[in-house]
Amino acid sequence: MPRTALAALLLLVAPAAHAACTAPTPPLASEKPVKPALPQKPACLDAKGGCPGWEAYTYNDGIKAYNAQLAPFRTSAEAYARKLKAYADGSVAYANCEMQSLQ
């Protein structure tokens, strides 16, 4: 009989012996990358005569600089998105753990 009582006691205590559910922590808002600003389009681009050479070249240089900034932005945006997905997955796991602790 002592073995049966011990087994019953272990079954009752087993759920409480599980590790406590750990809530996930969201990624820091300061880690969210900022998309580079698109250069302002000169009004003369839409005009019938177009832009003077220097203004068109300046705008073109701004577009090239913008395009060069997009690759690093994309890399950091994808990394941040992975952290957000891990947080969402962790939240589901945390909720499931809490629900199981109630059973």
Which DSSP helix (H) or strand (E) runs through 58?
helix 53-101
User: How confident is residue 4, by pLDDT bands cut at 50, 70 and 90?
Assistant: low
Q: What is the pLDDT of residue 19?
A: 67
Render pLDDT for 5-34 as a digit per residue (tens, 0 to 9): 544 444 444 444 456 999 999 999 999 999
Q: Does residue 45 contact residue 62 with C-beta atoms inside 8 Å? A: no
Render pLDDT for 39-86 as a digit per residue (tens, 0 to 9): 998 888 877 777 788 888 899 999 999 999 999 999 999 999 999 999
